[in-house]
Every structure is written in C-alpha cells, then in structure tokens.
Amino acid sequence: MKNQTQALEHASIQQYCKVARLPTVAANFVSLAEQAVKENHGHTRYLEALLAIECEERDRHAIENRIRDAHLPRLKTLEEFDFAQAQQISAARIRELAEGGYIERKEPIVLIGECGTGKTHLATGLCMAACRQKRRVRFTTAAALVNELVEAKQNNQVRKLMSRWQKYELIALDEVGYVPLADIGAEFLFQVISERAERAAIIVTTNLPFSEWTTVFPNPRLCKALLDRITDRAHIIETGTESFRFRRTLERSKKR
C-alpha cells in the first residue's frame, strides 16, 4: 500500500513538473530526496538543491542555443588560442574584452592582420564568450552577408532581413577585404555597419590596412564613411603579418 501511494505521489509530481516545465526537477526529485534523507538535510535545503540544478540546466541549454544560433565556423575558444605564437597580441587585453564590456558600451572591435595570424579564431572566441553570457550573437563572412542581402533584395525582403540582423547584440563580420565588392554589395555592407554604429557591438576581421580598403569599396566617399563608423571608439588589434598557422605546418614537416 505504501509503495502504491508513493508511486501515485511520484506520478503526480511528474505531472506537475511537466505542466510547470521543470524537466530537471522531474528527473532528479527522487534521487535528491534520498540524498537529503541520508545527509539529514531539511526541506528548505532539499528545495534549494532541486531549484539549483533546474536553473543550471536551463543556463546550459540557453548557452547551447546561443552557440548554435551564432553559426560559428568552428567552436574555438580563447582558452585554446596560443598567445605564445602571437606575442604581439595582448592576452590580457583579449581576456578583458571577453568580459563583454565592449558589448555593453556598443563598441566595435577590428582585428587586422595577414591570413593565418589568428583573426578568425579570436573573433570566434569572443563570440563564444558572449554566448556564454547568453547574449544574442551572429557570425558571418562579409561575402555571405552581402549574398544574403542581395538575395533578399530580389525577393523584396531587405527590410525584414535588416531588422533581423539588428536584433543581435553582437555581429562578427569575418574576411572583410578578401573579396572586392560590387557597388550594391558595398552599399549593403555599409548599411549593416552604419545601423549598428553606437547602437550595437560588431567585430570585424580584415587582412587589409585601412589605407587599402578602397580596393574593396570602390566608392571613396562610401569607403571613408564606412571606416569612420567602424573605427569610431573601436578596439583595433593588429594580429601581425607572419602566419603562425603556416609556421606550424613547416614545423610539422621538419619533424616528419
């Protein structure tokens, strides 16, 4: 009789948890109750433990969702970045940025350097850090964003798409300068960046010094206006000219 009553109580609790959307509580209330009895914990301590694991699980799921929605090229963190191979980059400065103050202040970050110097890894790592803070983040390349906007224009969906991009707290725009842009593409990129100026944070990676951006943005006035918005209050980080990715390849070859 006791076992039957207990089974009914458990079923009732499971149902209440389902209605209240507390799946972690539903999965753990029995085992934690047994642990509370063994360790002589009171009802309040038991309830605290149940709510704590529910909140922890919700946080974990929220972070996973933010990372998935960010469309990161690879799941690289700042902890994995080899600052010893890139001594011109201040690890302390990057870690300070990872705390997210620049997002609160709506400041840009510009990573400038040659291919293989860690720009994309750093941008991805900063995005990962923002996702861990449960911020809305989106990573894309300049070319992919322009293609998306051009396609939206053909379908009369530009305003809708721009509105969606404005909702992100942080956008990482990778590979600006790798591919020359047609006038329409340059205008779209300018529109995205200008609408975020002083309103939301953006990370830009580029292999070109600012003096050479006219090779990508053929309209000098547009290029000047774009640079004005990107560099205003920006954290400009130079990653160097020597590819440590290429250097690692050479070192592996020598070992073989």
Residues 30 and 81 in one domain: no
Interacting residues of 246 by C-beta distance below 8 A, sequence separation 6+: 116
Let me know whether 180 and 248 are in one domain.
yes
Q: Are residues 29 and 119 in the same domain?
A: no
Q: Looking at the structure, tell me whether residues 10 and 133 fall in a common domain.
A: no
Q: Do residues 127 and 218 share a domain?
A: yes
Give the CA dihedral 244, 246, 251, 253, nearest 10 degrees: 170
pLDDT digits (tens, 9 = 90+) for 187-220: 888 899 888 888 999 999 999 999 888 888 888 8
pLDDT at 127: 98
pLDDT tens digit string along 33-82?
Answer: 888 888 888 889 988 988 999 999 999 999 999 999 999 999 999 999 98
CA distances (Å), 78 to each of 29, 40, 117, 128, 256, in order? 37, 43, 14, 8, 29
Of 35, 69, 103, the one marking the end of a domain is: 69
Q: Average pLDDT for residues 159-182, to the nearest whole number?
A: 90
Residue 203 confidence (pLDDT):
97
Q: Is residue 256's pLDDT more than 70? A: no
Same domain flag for 52 and 176: no
| The pLDDT value given to residue 2 | 65
Q: Which pTM value belongs to this model?
A: 0.85
pLDDT of residue 233: 92
Q: Domain range for residue 9?
A: 2-69
pLDDT surpassing 90 at residue 128: yes
Q: Residues 215, 119: one domain?
A: yes
Rounded to an integer, the average pLDDT of 165-172 is 94
H runs (alpha helix) in 2-42: 2-20, 23-38
Residue 12 has pLDDT above 70, yes or no: yes
Our measurement of the distance from residue 59's CA atom to the centroid of its chain's CA atoms, rounded to an integer in Å, reads: 16
The pLDDT score that the predictor gives to residue 219 is 85
Cβ(29)–Cβ(101) under 8 Å? no
Cβ neighbour number for residue 173 with a 10 Å cutoff: 25
**CATH no. for residue 91?**
3.40.50.300
pLDDT at 244: 66
Residue of 138 and 223 predicted with greater confidence: 138
Number of separate domains in the chain: 2
- Kindly state whether residues 185 and 209 are assigned to the same domain: yes
Q: Is the dihedral of CA 138, 139, 145, 148 positive or negative?
A: negative
Boundary residue ending a domain (69, 94, 127): 69
CB count in 10 Å sphere of residue 43: 9
How high is the pLDDT of residue 216? 83
**Residues 143, 187: one domain?**
yes
Strands 137-141 and 109-113: unpaired
Considering the domain architecture, whether residues 204 and 117 belong to the same structural domain is answered as yes
Q: Which helix (H) or strand (E) holds 227?
A: helix 220-231
CB atoms within 10 A of CB 25: 20
Indicate whether 86 and 110 sit together in one domain: yes
Q: Is pLDDT of 250 > 90?
A: no
The H or E element containing residue 206 is strand 201-206
Check whether 155 has a pLDDT greater than 60. yes
Same domain flag for 46 and 101: no
Using the predicted structure, report yes or no on whether residue 152 has a pLDDT greater than 60: yes
User: What rounded mean pLDDT belongs to the chain?
Assistant: 89
Instruction: Write down the pLDDT at residue 248.
Output: 62
Give the pLDDT band of residue 247 (cuts 50, 70, 90). Answer: low
In the listed set 69, 87, 113, which residue is the last one of a domain according to the structure? 69
Task: Write the CA distances from 22 to 9, 29, 138, integer angstroms.
Answer: 16, 11, 29
